[in-house]
């Protein structure tokens, strides 16, 4: 599977300018993701997915970034959301994948509005931005308050068919243009009660879907301990790409007409610090990948993962954030910020 993803790198690089110009990924890219099967790594086997390791998904995100960061970002969003959908009640999963096992969801996870309780579920309205990949999704995961607006104890993710939302073409930005992270507008959309999952259950590692798929321990991993290995690999890979560009640019640069910049000790130290920061981030990611494989055997009671591996995941993910490659020094290189 990893080799299939690597084979896409030159194709993504070739289409990167087109993605930027269109402000969304080319349809060919999504088709290749589907044909390679990489969108289904975190999808449960019951619905035709691979029910795979989060570490494999994370590695693929990083590899795709070497071709096109926007393409990798959208892949990370759509593929990770298969993991979230698998944590909903069984009926919601059937709604999404029963007739279309290849269905995917975009999202707008930060809660902005409170849903209105009605018989059988909720009604939701509002403007929800940053829905990466929405042009190619069939569903949307919307963060909302099920209690008073602003109450963090009642935040839920509601599943909404994208056919019932309006996509607003407002993605006018400087970077990651190709992600097509447009806004969604909902107008009094009815959401059945079974299409909701409490964020507190996701972060506790005890969502309803853990009972639906007892042989899939990744569903019992608290969201806060694995989500850092979804989009951050894009930053890690971009750090490597930036370092390669810097080293290539500095190789022939001369300061004041006589001094080779590449031979400057200050420059060499800055390059070394940047490379070390990236290597440490990758090493700590590897620690989490290893500990993520220790989530335990099947659990028919849907309990969260045991305390020792949970503690290890939290420690390693915290260290990864503290050693992010974006902290690397840049100014001594003479490159623009």
Rounded to the nearest angstrom, the gap between the alpha carbon of residue 326 and the centroid of all alpha carbons in its chain is 18
Note whether 16 and 58 are same-domain residues.
Answer: yes
Cα separation, 256 vs 164, whole angstroms: 62
Asked if residue 171 is part of any domain, the answer here is: yes
Which domain-ending residue is among 198, 213, 238? 198
Rounded to the nearest angstrom, the gap between the alpha carbon of residue 238 and the centroid of all alpha carbons in its chain is 15
Residue spans of the chain under pLDDT 50: 307-317, 319-320, 324-337
Which ranges in the chain belong to alpha helices (H)?
Answer: 2-7, 9-22, 27-36, 54-65, 69-85, 90-97, 199-204, 209-212, 223-226, 232-251, 265-292, 307-322
Note whether 325 and 245 are same-domain residues.
Answer: yes
For 142-170, the pLDDT digits (tens) are 999 999 999 999 999 999 999 999 999 99
Q: Which residue has the tokens 């390679």?
A: 36
pLDDT on residue 279 = 83
Residues in contact with 205: Cβ distance below 8 Å, sequence separation at least 6, in sequence order: 220, 221, 222, 223, 303, 304, 305, 310
Note whether 230 and 306 are same-domain residues.
Answer: yes
Cα separation, 130 vs 163, whole angstroms: 17
Domain count of the fold of the chain: 3
pLDDT on residue 262 = 81
Note whether 96 and 112 are same-domain residues.
Answer: no
pLDDT on residue 283 = 77
pLDDT on residue 328 = 45
CATH value at residue 35: 1.10.540.10
Which domain-ending residue is among 67, 100, 133? 100
CB count in 10 Å sphere of residue 299? 19
Note whether 324 and 230 are same-domain residues.
Answer: yes
Which domain-ending residue is among 83, 100, 117? 100
pLDDT on residue 298 = 53
Burial class (CB in 10 A: 0-12, 13-18, 19+), 130: middle
Asked if residue 27 is part of any domain, the answer here is: yes
Residues forming a β-bridge with 126: 186
Query: How far is CA 192 from each of CA 89, 120, 122, 199, 232, rounded to the nearest angstrom?
Result: 11, 6, 7, 17, 33
Count the helix, strand and coil residues of the chain and give each as a percent rounded to the nearest 5. 55, 15, 30
pLDDT on residue 331 = 42
Domain that holds residue 65: 2-100
**Six-digit token pair at 92?**
């919601």
pLDDT on residue 317 = 46
Asked if residue 219 is part of any domain, the answer here is: no
Asked if residue 216 is part of any domain, the answer here is: no
CATH value at residue 127: 2.40.110.10
Asked if residue 203 is part of any domain, the answer here is: no
For 172-220, the pLDDT digits (tens) are 999 999 999 999 999 999 999 999 999 999 999 999 999 999 999 999 9
Asked if residue 205 is part of any domain, the answer here is: no
pLDDT on residue 291 = 58
Asked if residue 215 is part of any domain, the answer here is: no
Contact 260, 254 (CB under 8 A): yes
Asked if residue 214 is part of any domain, the answer here is: no
């Amino acid at each position: 599977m990893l080799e299939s993803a690597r084979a896409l790198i030159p194709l993504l690089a070739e289409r990167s300018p087109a993605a930027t110009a269109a402000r969304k990924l080319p349809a060919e890219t999504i088709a290749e993701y589907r044909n390679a099967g990489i969108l289904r790594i975190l999808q449960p086997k019951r619905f035709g997915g691979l029910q795979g390791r989060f570490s494999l998904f994370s590695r693929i995100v990083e590899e795709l970034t070497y071709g096109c960061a926007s393409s990798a970002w959208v892949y990370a969003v759509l593929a990770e959301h298969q993991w979230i959908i698998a944590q909903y009640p069984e009926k919601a999963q059937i709604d999404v994948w029963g007739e279309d096992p290849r269905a995917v969801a975009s999202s707008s996870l930060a809660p902005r509005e409170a849903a209105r309780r009605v018989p059988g579920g909720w009604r939701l309205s509002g403007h929800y931005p940053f829905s990466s990949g929405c042009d190619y999704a069939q569903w949307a995961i919307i963060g909302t308050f099920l209690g008073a607006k602003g109450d963090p104890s009642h935040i839920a993710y509601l599943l909404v068919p994208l056919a019932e939302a309006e996509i607003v073409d407002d993605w006018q930005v400087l970077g990651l243009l190709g992600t097509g992270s447009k806004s969604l507008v909902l107008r009094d959309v009815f959401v059945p009660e079974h299409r909701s999952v409490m964020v507190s259950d996701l972060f506790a590692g005890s969502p309803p879907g853990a009972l639906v798929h007892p042989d899939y321990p990744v569903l019992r991993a608290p969201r806060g301990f694995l989500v850092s290995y979804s989009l951050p690999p894009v930053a890690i890979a971009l750090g490597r790409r930036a370092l390669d560009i810097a080293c290539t640019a500095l190789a022939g640069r001369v300061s004041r007409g006589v001094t080779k910049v590449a031979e400057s000790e200050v420059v060499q130290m800055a390059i070394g610090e940047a490379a070390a920061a990236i290597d440490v981030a990758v090493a700590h990611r590897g620690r989490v990948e290893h500990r993520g494989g220790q989530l335990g055997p099947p659990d028919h009671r849907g309990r969260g993962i045991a305390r020792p591996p949970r503690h290890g995941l939290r420690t390693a993910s915290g260290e990864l954030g503290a050693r992010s490659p974006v902290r690397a020094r840049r100014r001594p290189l003479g490159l623009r910020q």
